[in-house]
Amino acid sequence: MSSLARTAAIAAAAFDTAPHRRRGRRHRGRVVVARAKASAASNAADKAKSKATYALGVDVGTQGTKAILYDLDARAVAGRGAKSYGLLPNASANAAEQDPATWLDGVRVAVKNALADARATPDAIACVGVSGQQHGMVCLDAEGAVVRPAKLWCDTESAAEATELGKMFGWNMQAGFTASKVRWLKNVEPQNWERTKTVCLPHDYVNYFMTGEMHMERGDASGIGVMDMEAREIDEAKCDAVDARFFETLPKLLPPDVEWGKVTPDAGAFLGLPAGIPVSVGSGDNMMSALGAGCVNEGRLVVSLGTSGTLFGYNAETVPDPTAAIQPFCDATGGYLPLLCSMNCTRVVGEARQAFGGGRSHEELAEEAKSVPPGSGGVRFLPYLVGERSPNWPHAMGTLTGLRPGSLCTPGVVYNAAMEGATYALLGGLKRMSELGLSPPTELAVVGGGSKSKRWRQIIADAFDTRVTWPVEPETAALGAALQAAALVSGASTRAFVEENPPAYADDVSEPNPDAAAAHAENYEEFVREGEALFGPEIVCDVRGEYDEVYA
């Protein structure tokens, strides 16, 4: 039995993979007759759907997997599915780990749910694209079996190794980068490093499981921390600084617009996919989200409100930043994707709701927050619940400042301050991009789970003093993966396909209010000053607790 077949067997044993039995229909007189008539009226449509062909896009995230079926004829999303999961329990408060088998089960369930939503069968899927959370360290042995749980982007146990490598490389490496995690593995778990023959990233591993072929892709590989961005190749000397064996553990890089491989019979049987369909090269979630937001040319920046928050946009040339606040990643089209990442975004708003919401929904709290003035009456939420990477404060903590009598009792204040704090963490990226010579954006595209909040979109428009739009499909990473796969089977380049088939945007646009923009500018300066005063000096403490709520 191959290592991939064994992995499928292990995953099947760990998760309930038996198909659900269809429940027998219960005849209920006139109700059945009415349903039969409705069913007969839609038979033609159902038959047409069964003949449609779809591009499947999968986004393997931190808190779950999302799947989208993109109709290749209608050029529109036809079905959606999801599967939630969390982190492994860990004795270290700074660790964040997952079993890669969890991702495979997430793909299986999300695909099944997307097919059900589209009323389609697996044989209607023509191609697959995979998006994955960036930076995660997946270690495989000589037979392709997982050596240890994957250390994720939000794992900060390698902060010391990141500082050490940053000094060697001449830039401020954060603990999120994969290279620091490999260095940590070598130092802390040498026996596991000795067993490791291949180091890959989450989306690489899922593609490997699907196809039996191991490669890497330049956009996602940019997040390892050892790439020569000008040459768009792995820098062997930097790898040697991590460990003399590191370079040989990294798979070959593939260019954009190529096929990774084809779904094998074993993988197809486990995941519910047709064997033999092509798998596109895939990429990291931010690169795929850029595709799903139609961000393949300069002018538009994407603000992604997920577990982490990111700000990014297309650029034709690399944008080196010695402070490493802006990462000069490769994108998924052959260009670059300068990006700022905050480790704390929707989790901050979610915890504010849990702690201060009194059981009210996000929608109810957002309605209350409308009456809160910009700056939340002087209450500021420094959102660093799991530390931070931009600025590089891995041991920072979430902090409420400016509290006065009544602040905690006034409806919506803390909730509004949480949205503002998460927004300000991203606003610093825009200011740094401007300092690096990038042109200001003509508009911001807000995506991810938090984009569903109209109140939050308005805060972003005011704080950034920029027009805010939002795609109709919030799961832009999964959509981007589907678009890349669709481009592959069409024969067009990914950029050309997205330009010809731009994702739909909502008519509801948020325009900045000049008075609110001025108030946010003043409040942002206080936000920065307080953060530097509290966390600029290095502090050492355990700051990370398990958190599994998704903003919804």
Output the CA–CA distances (angstroms, integers) from residue 355 to 274, 351, 415, 423, 492, in the order listed. Answer: 46, 6, 10, 20, 50
Distance CA 251, CA 260 (A): 12
Structure token digits, residue 214: 């191991």
- Chain-centroid distance of CA 43 in Å reads 38
Exposed/middle/buried for residue 37 (C-beta within 10 Å: 0-12, 13-18, 19+):
exposed
Sequence-ordered list of residues with C-beta below 8 angstroms from that of 88, at least 6 positions apart, any chain: 97, 98, 99, 149
In 3-state terms the chain splits into helix, strand, coil percentages (rounded to 5) of 40, 20, 40
Distance CA 163, CA 156 (A): 12
Task: Judge contact between 72 and 54, C-beta under 8 A.
Answer: yes
Residue ranges of the alpha helices (H) in 236-381?
Answer: 236-242, 246-249, 265-271, 285-292, 346-356, 362-369
Cβ atoms within 10 Å, residue 432 = 19
- Under DSSP, is residue 105 helix (H, G, I), strand (E, B) or coil? helix
Output the CA–CA distances (angstroms, integers) from residue 147 to 151, 215, 370, in the order listed. Answer: 12, 18, 50
Task: Please report the DSSP string for 417-474 in residue order.
Answer: HHHHHHHHHHHHHHHHHHHTTPPPPSEEEEESGGGG-HHHHHHHHHHHTS-EE-BS-S
Output the CA–CA distances (angstroms, integers) from residue 284 to 8, 281, 327, in the order listed. Answer: 23, 10, 14
Nearest to 69 by CA among 55, 82, 83, 51: 55
* 3-class secondary structure per residue, 193-250: HHHCCEEECHHHHHHHHHHCCCCEEHHHHHHHCCEECCCCEECHHHHHHHCCCHHHHC
> Strands 138-140 and 125-132, how do they pair?
unpaired
- Under DSSP, is residue 3 helix (H, G, I), strand (E, B) or coil? helix
Bridge partners, residue 315, by sequence: 336
285 counts as catalytic: yes
> Strands 253-254 and 216-217, how do they pair?
parallel
Distance CA 29, CA 214 (A): 57
**Given 59, 99, 285, 321, the catalytic residue:** 285
Backbone angles phi, psi at 144, to 5 degrees: 85, 10
Residue 391, preceding bond cis, omega within 30 degrees? yes
Amino acid at 175: A
Distance CA 134, CA 306 (A): 13
What are the catalytic residues? 285
